[in-house]
């Protein structure tokens, strides 16, 4: 791909969009419209409320009521009291009176009958106002009743209950903001790009300029990449504008507003990391849809359901009582509303953030895959001209050595989605240990193996089940020792900033109750075998076959680290993934990687407590071991020998 | 009579072409599919949340000495777990989520007072407070009842005052309240979705036709331009009505689900209510459709018309929202505010009220406005310069129009 060309294309797209007066108006309008609409609406509401507050309720009394109550009603400036007898129902229905009071005294009991229409707000209001006085009257008569019989009145009030809210005004206004703003941010991130995307795809189609574009010496991949980038840039711009508009309105919403929420670099970083996957998601989906549709009308018809799809989950965060937990953090869009909310309420949690980020990333990757597919340019992502080969009819699928790289990535994405979503269900049914083992076997090994078989690829060749070459395996071991040392150093360094390294909640207790064998199976053996089958087995070679060793190792390591849903340990896991990928390619077999993975997990679970090395010692060991490993693996210049070795192997 | 046939001809033609347009139909009928999905989604999530909440434990802490009977009462609930906050201040313990609620007992003027400390911005703390509060209130009522019964008087001190409410209409008060809520929600949905429906089609009827160059074809048939645009107007209004009614009908499953949860509900309405609502609705729809068509005619492309339409839609939505303001009254003044007036007229009708003066103002004023807007729209439509020329020349002074014949 030509970067310079993409730059030119982006500038062309930006110019074209910004020349469009309609788009500019749409972009700037929120600045005027939001404050104006909010202003009109809130002034009407406060006027209505005020007039409702000062409005007089008309009360009619049909028979003499106790003097004390009568005085209270007369004193209440919100009430106008008249006396009249007879049937007053019709007069209430005609709105002459809001409430009629009928009173009788029977055996010391004051009996009140209130006639009103609860369908009318004036009726309900008048009733509530009278009840204020009636409650006081009731209490007073109870007290005098007891006093007459010289009884202690405290028996009617054995103790007082006081509620004390420790939240201050700023926190409370933060909460009310924390409900709406996260939702607005989420929705605007998702939908801010839609107009631009449609303009750049359907717009060009309708204007007939798309064909012209395709006829210039620009590849489709360059074209779609530049459109994507333009779209994201404009999306960001419109989000910023909406935010400014909101800032204008905010002071009028929070009247005594001293906002405790300050924009620190951390909060801005979190907001950006939460919102960017959403912008990607929106851009991918709407560019794809825009390209798919042949006219504005058609794209409009598709965008409506898309809007609903985006908006409904964003609203879920508003349901009272919905709190961020592992399950909700894994639901895209819902998690974003809740994550931003947690930033406002100072309840931010790194684990949930990691889970949310990864799950949103997965969905945005899916939406980008969809977009590239519509553009007929999957090769930009996967380097091959072919499209996905997963077909419903297996007969249509041709026999081949490896599945296509895009299928391999899809396989991993399916496995990870299954792992995240079915994992919770399996743990609920089988218990957390058996459930986790079961879902690993299913999601990482069985189902991907089945799909690979279904796509008629050579499973044995793909996975690389054979005796490994000895020397590269030894090199791999050294490499792992080096990587492990670096990982430990990282752990020590990060400990200062992350007080507790997040672990799956509740797993620790269960883990300690297991027998050592079971612990080993749970923490080392199953993940070691199953994760390797998926990442270094099914995914690595198909990608390496088309894109080369270097990219294959990096892509699988990246997917591997993302799957662990742990932002804090993203880098160490990525490093481990790289080491395992290198070993697999160099030794020509998956077995060393499985061995090292098992060793790695077992060491983390059991061996760590016996080692107490300083950071310096670890660094020295790491550098030496890593160098030895690299020297053994790469006797010749980087990359080439690996590829050659491997190709000789298979020929 | 002849003109009516023309209008009907165009009207039917537009509806037929809409029927052929599967995508436009999809947009109109989408709610039938979407509402049940939303409903399932929300019911699913809220039942899930409730399930979770039911199981969650609430951590409470005592500060100082709290009487044993109070401790007993609070701890009688399985969900309550007592924790120790070791000398940490109540406020920081709650804010750091070490504990949900802190209970402190004080003695003042011979009366025992329990203060329940919590943080209203933390959901867990808030729910913990509600739980503790309900336990304590229940206990308090029990104590009062016991001591009152021990007094053994002829007349119970707790029954000195009896209160009875009587509904002046024949219906029960639940039904009245439901009717008043429906009266706010249903007209809003009806008006909003009708306007959205109109929005979805008018761009195509106006600028869309310009873009496809089919306007010239229509102009070549022997029908006056006014009849054509009126036909289009009727088509737009029918689509809006269809959309509004579809939306109201697809709300039914939700309404039914909610209604089945409330016992003894039988809200009955005047059978003429739908007709009354239609009478109130139609002028508003003609107004919306005429304004949107008129604006759409200025646009050169379908997309441009959609943009203009979006502004018009917003202008109609704002008064719609104002009609939702709970305390707003259907006064003589507000009867002059289009859209809001119709909504309020419908709201009153739901609770069986028909204030004649306001209704008359509403109807006359809305009809007047829609007639004016229809006339303006027709003027735009018959103006060559707007339809085929540059929009710049429209409404400008005659002086600035160049004489073409000299060149």
Subunit contact A297:B208, Cβ cutoff 8 A: yes
| Ranges of chain B with pLDDT below 70 | 1, 22-23, 32-33, 36-55, 109-110, 154-155, 253-254, 256-268, 389-407
B53 close to A (CB below 8 A): yes
pLDDT at B266: 64
Contacts A–B by Cβ distance under 8 A: 221
A389: tokens are 């080969």
pLDDT at B234: 92
Cβ-based contacts of B155 with chain A (< 8 Å)? 107-109, 145
Give the pairing type, strands A79-83 and B80-82. unpaired
CA distance A237 to A23: 12
pLDDT at residue A190 above 60? Answer: yes
> pLDDT, tens digit, for every residue of A220-271?
778 888 899 999 998 888 888 877 777 777 666 554 444 445 566 777 788 8
Q: How many residues does chain B have?
A: 407
Please tell me what DSSP assigns to residue B221. S
Subunit contact B304:A22, Cβ cutoff 8 A: yes
Cβ-based contacts of A40 with chain B (< 8 Å)? 318
Query: Confidence class of residue A380 from pLDDT cuts 50, 70 and 90?
Result: very low
Chain A residue with minimal CA distance to B329? A48
- pTM (predicted TM-score): 0.63
Return the exposure string of A386-424: e unless at least 16 CB atoms fall within 10 Å of the residue's CB, then b: eebbbeeeeeebeeeebbbbbbbbbbbbebbbbbbbebe
B87 close to A (CB below 8 A): no
CA distance A18 to A15: 5
Please give the distance of CA B392 from its chain centroid, rounded to a whole number: 39
Which of the pair, B265 or A219, is modelled with greater confidence? A219
Cβ-based contacts of A297 with chain B (< 8 Å)? 21, 23-24, 204, 208, 302
Measure A446 CA to nearest chain B CA, in Å: 31
Subunit contact B112:A160, Cβ cutoff 8 A: yes
> pLDDT, tens digit, for every residue of B366-381?
999 999 999 999 888 8
HEC profile of B353-406: CCCHHHHHHHHHHHHHHHHHHHHHHHHHHHCHHHHCCCHHHCCCCHHHCCCCCC
B22: tokens are 């599967």
CB atoms within 10 A of CB A258: 9
Cβ-based contacts of A159 with chain B (< 8 Å)? 70, 111-114, 140
Subunit contact B200:A300, Cβ cutoff 8 A: yes
Nearest to A484, CA basis, from A592, A553, A554, A580: A580
pLDDT at residue A418 above 90? Answer: no
> pLDDT, tens digit, for every residue of A549-599?
888 898 889 888 877 766 667 788 899 999 999 999 888 888 999 999 999
């Amino acid at each position: 791909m030509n970067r310079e060309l993409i730059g030119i294309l982006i500038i062309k797209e930006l110019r074209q969009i910004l020349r469009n007066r309609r788009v500019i108006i749409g972009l700037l309008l929120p600045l005027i419209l939001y404050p104006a609409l909010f202003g009109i609406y809130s002034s009407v509401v406060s006027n209505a409320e005020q007039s409702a507050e000062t409005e007089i309720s008309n009360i009619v009394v049909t028979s003499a009521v106790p003097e004390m109550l009568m005085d209270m009603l007369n004193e209440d400036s919100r009430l106008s009291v008249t006396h009249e007898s007879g049937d007053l129902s019709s007069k209430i229905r005609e709105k002459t009176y809001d409430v009629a009071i009928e009173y009788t005294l029977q055996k010391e009991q004051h009996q009140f009958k209130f006639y009103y229409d609860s369908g009318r707000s004036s009726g309900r209001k008048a009733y509530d106002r009278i009840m204020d006085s009636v409650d006081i009257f009731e209490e007073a008569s109870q007290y005098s009743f007891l006093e007459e019989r010289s009884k202690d009145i405290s028996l009617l009030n054995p103790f007082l209950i006081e509620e004390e809210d420790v939240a201050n005004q700023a926190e409370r206004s933060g909460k009310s903001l924390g409900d709406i703003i996260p939702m607005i941010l989420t929705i605007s991130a998702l939908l801010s790009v839609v107009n631009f995307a449609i303009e750049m795809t359907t717009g060009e189609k309708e204007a007939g300029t798309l064909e012209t574009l395709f006829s210039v010496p620009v590849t489709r991949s360059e074209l779609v990449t530049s459109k994507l980038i333009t779209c994201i840039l404009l999306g960001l711009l419109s989000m910023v504008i909406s935010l400014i508009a909101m800032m204008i309105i905010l002071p009028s919403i929070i009247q005594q507003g001293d906002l405790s929420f300050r924009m620190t670099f951390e909060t801005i970083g979190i907001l950006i990391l939460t919102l960017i996957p959403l912008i990607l998601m929106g851009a991918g989906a709407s560019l794809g849809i825009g390209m798919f549709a042949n006219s504005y009308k058609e794209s409009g018809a598709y965008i409506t359901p898309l809007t609903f799809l985006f908006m409904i989950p964003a609203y879920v965060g508003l349901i009272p009582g919905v709190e961020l937990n592992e399950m909700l953090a894994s639901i895209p869009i819902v998690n974003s509303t809740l994550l931003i909310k947690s930033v406002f309420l100072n309840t931010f949690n790194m684990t949930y953030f990691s889970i949310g980020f990864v799950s949103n990333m997965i969905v945005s990757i899916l939406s980008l895959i969809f977009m590239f597919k519509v553009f007929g340019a999957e090769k930009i992502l996967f380097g091959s001209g072919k499209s996905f080969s997963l077909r419903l009819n297996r007969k249509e699928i041709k026999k081949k050595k490896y599945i296509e790289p895009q299928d391999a990535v899809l396989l991993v994405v399916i496995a990870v989605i299954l792992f995240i979503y079915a994992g919770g269900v399996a743990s609920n049914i089988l218990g957390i240990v058996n459930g986790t083992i079961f879902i690993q076997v299913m999601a990482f090994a069985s189902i991907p193996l089945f799909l690979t078989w279904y796509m008629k690829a050579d499973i044995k060749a793909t996975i690389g089940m054979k005796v490994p070459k000895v020397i590269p395996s030894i090199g791999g071991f050294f490499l792992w020792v080096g990587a492990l040392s670096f990982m430990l150093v990282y752990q020590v360094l990060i400990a200062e900033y992350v007080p507790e390294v997040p672990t799956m909640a509740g797993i620790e207790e269960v883990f300690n109750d297991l027998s050592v064998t079971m612990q080993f199976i749970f923490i080392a053996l199953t993940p070691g075998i199953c994760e390797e089958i998926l990442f270094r087995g099914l995914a690595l070679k198909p990608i390496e076959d088309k894109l080369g060793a270097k990219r294959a190792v990096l892509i699988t390591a990246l997917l591997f680290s993302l799957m662990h849903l742990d932002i804090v340990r993203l880098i160490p896991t990525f490093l481990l993934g790289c080491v395992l990928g290198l070993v697999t390619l160099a030794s020509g077999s998956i077995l060393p990687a499985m061995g090292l993975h098992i060793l790695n997990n077992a060491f983390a679970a059991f061996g760590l407590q016996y080692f107490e090395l300083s950071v310096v010692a670890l660094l020295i060991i790491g550098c030496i071991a890593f160098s030895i490993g690299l020297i053994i693996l790469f006797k010749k210049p980087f990359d080439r020998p690996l590829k050659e070795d491997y190709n000789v192997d298979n020929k | 009579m002849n003109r009516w046939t023309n209008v009907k001809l165009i009207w039917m033609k537009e509806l037929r072409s809409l029927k052929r347009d599967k995508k436009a139909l999809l947009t109109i009928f989408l709610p039938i599919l979407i509402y049940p999905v939303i409903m399932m989604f929300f019911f699913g999530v809220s039942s899930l949340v409730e399930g979770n909440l039911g199981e969650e434990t609430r951590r409470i802490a005592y500060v100082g000495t709290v009487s044993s009977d109070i401790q007993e009462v609070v701890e009688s609930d399985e969900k309550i777990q007592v924790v120790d906050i070791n000398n940490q201040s109540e406020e920081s313990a709650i804010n750091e989520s070490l504990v949900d609620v802190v209970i402190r007992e004080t003695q003042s003027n011979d009366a025992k007072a329990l203060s329940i400390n919590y943080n209203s911005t933390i959901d867990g703390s808030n729910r913990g407070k509600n739980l503790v509060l309900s336990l304590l209130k229940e206990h308090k009522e029990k104590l009062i009842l016991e001591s009152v019964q021990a007094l053994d008087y002829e007349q119970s001190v707790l029954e000195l005052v009896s209160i009875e409410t009587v509904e002046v209409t024949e219906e029960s008060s639940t039904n009245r309240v439901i009717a008043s809520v429906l009266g706010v929600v249903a007209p809003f949905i009806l008006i909003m979705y009708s306007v959205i429906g109109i929005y979805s089609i008018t761009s195509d009827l106006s600028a869309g036709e310009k873009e496809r160059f089919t306007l010239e074809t229509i102009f070549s048939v022997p029908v006056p331009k006014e009849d054509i645009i009126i036909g289009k107007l009727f088509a737009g209004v029918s689509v809006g009505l269809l959309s509004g009614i579809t939306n109201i009908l697809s709300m039914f499953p939700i309404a039914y689900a909610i209604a089945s949860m409330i016992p003894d509900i039988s809200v009955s309405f005047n059978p003429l209510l739908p007709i009354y609502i239609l009478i109130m609705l139609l002028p508003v729809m003609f107004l919306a459709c005429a304004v949107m068509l008129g604006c759409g005619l200025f646009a050169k492309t379908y997309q441009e018309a959609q943009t203009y339409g979006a502004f018009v839609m917003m202008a109609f939505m704002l008064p719609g929202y104002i009609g939702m303001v709970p305390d707003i009254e259907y006064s003589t003044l507000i009867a002059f505010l289009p859209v809001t007036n119709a909504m309020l007229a419908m709201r009153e009708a739901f609770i069986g009220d028909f204030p004649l003066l306001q209704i008359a103002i509403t109807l006359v004023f809305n009809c007047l406005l829609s007639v004016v807007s229809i006339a303006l729209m027709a003027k735009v439509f018959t103006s060559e310069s707007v339809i085929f020329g540059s929009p710049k020349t429209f409404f400008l002074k005659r002086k600035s129009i160049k004489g073409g014949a000299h060149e």
